[in-house]
Amino acid sequence: MDDYEVCIHMRNVSTGTEMEGYLMKDVILAKFAEVFGDKEGAKAFFAPGRVNMIGEHTDYNGGHVFPCALTIGTYGVARKRDDNKLRFYSMNFEQLGVIESSLDDLKPYKEANWTNYPKGVMWAFEQKGMKIPCGMDLMLNGNIPNGSGLSSSASVEVLTGYILRDFFGFDVTNQDLALIGQFSENKFNGVNCGIMDQFAIAMGKEGHAIFLDTADLSYEYAPIKLENAKIVIACSNKKRGLGDSKYNERRSECETALAELQTVADIKSLGELTEEAFEAHKSAIKSDIRMKRAKHAVYENQRTVKAVEALKNNDVKLFGQLMNASHVSLRDDYEVTGIELDTLVEEAWKVDGVIGSRMTGAGFGGCTVSIVEDKAIDTFIDSVGKAYLQKIGYAADFYVVEIGDGPCVL
């Protein structure tokens, strides 16, 4: 790869705007008409992706998370049909063409590919007693890097739920849409994910992250005020599938550690423990590996609480230090980073003007999130990008992102 190609990869920067949404609406409606014959009765929608600033692998351990919705996400065009047929098309997987299914056959099939996500949500609505009266044509176009860990699957789930509510008047809140999306991913697609991704997407608020207690779904919006700095996401381009990663294994290790701790402590989740309480009771855990996993869950939860407090005090420097500590814990105690994410983060830490950097998402590939001073962004992208290419052998992509709202009709 020559220097020009490297430069193109490293400048792949997206700052979605409201204007971009309206431009995309025209593009996807035109494509819908091309694929499905016309656009009569079609309606356009958007659901964001998300990035988690801190609080990783805490959401299924009853802890706190701190995600925000992004201005990049999934665009959709949908139209009701007069039969039970479902026709799906993705501009991201054009080689797959139109994939057909039916409301009478809402089952996960490997050959159904990405359509198992919208089908799963339709199945979940019906499981919750909301009968879908007719089929639809649905076309999607996402500008979330596929497999990046920015929750393209959860974005599709929330978008589908939002469309179903809009079309059929189901009495569900945005928070309900998040829970239905999680239910569908757990029970239909077999990924034992927590609630964070769907919640952040369904409940997103421009300029704010969501401080969410996953134990009881209480939450507050916390403004992200980054004066003279921006959030930069680096995509490792190592593809990662949650269902076949070690995600479920980590969750199982934490559940076993919790059961062992419950023999000596009256707790319902690891998120209830302080660092001191964990250290006092950790000998009940009969495996060094499980002890490390539980330690991460407990300490990461406390880091998240401290990080939000730091933001409230306008202490972005401390927030960045806690991000760095989060990555170290994910690398050493939870062991979900890998050479790609470690390289991106460790190279980021070397750049003057980087306030904090860590992996984000489930790990095993995907992305890092960094807070970078405006004056250092070009240097950050250039130096981290070159070092990554040299060490890993292929390029990373970089996105300067903005915090956006939740799902909407375009």
Please state whether beta strands 136-142 and 85-90 pair in parallel, antiparallel, or not at all (unpaired): parallel
Q: Which amino acid is at 212?
A: L
Element spanning 372, H or E: strand 367-373
How far is it, in rounded angstroms, from Cα 354 to Cα 347?
A: 10
How far is it, in rounded angstroms, from Cα 350 to Cα 313?
A: 26
**Do 322 and 54 form a contact (C-beta atoms < 8 A)?**
yes
What are the Cα distances from residue 102, in Å, to 6, 85, 99, 116, 221? 44, 4, 10, 12, 39
Query: What are 301's two structure tokens?
Result: 């939860």
**Do 229 and 371 form a contact (C-beta atoms < 8 A)?**
yes
| Residue 129, C-beta contacts closer than 8 angstroms, at least 6 positions apart | none
Q: Where does 143-217 show beta strands of DSSP type E? A: 208-213
Closest to 78 in 3D by CA, of 25, 131, 117? 25
Indicate which residues carry an active-site annotation: 197
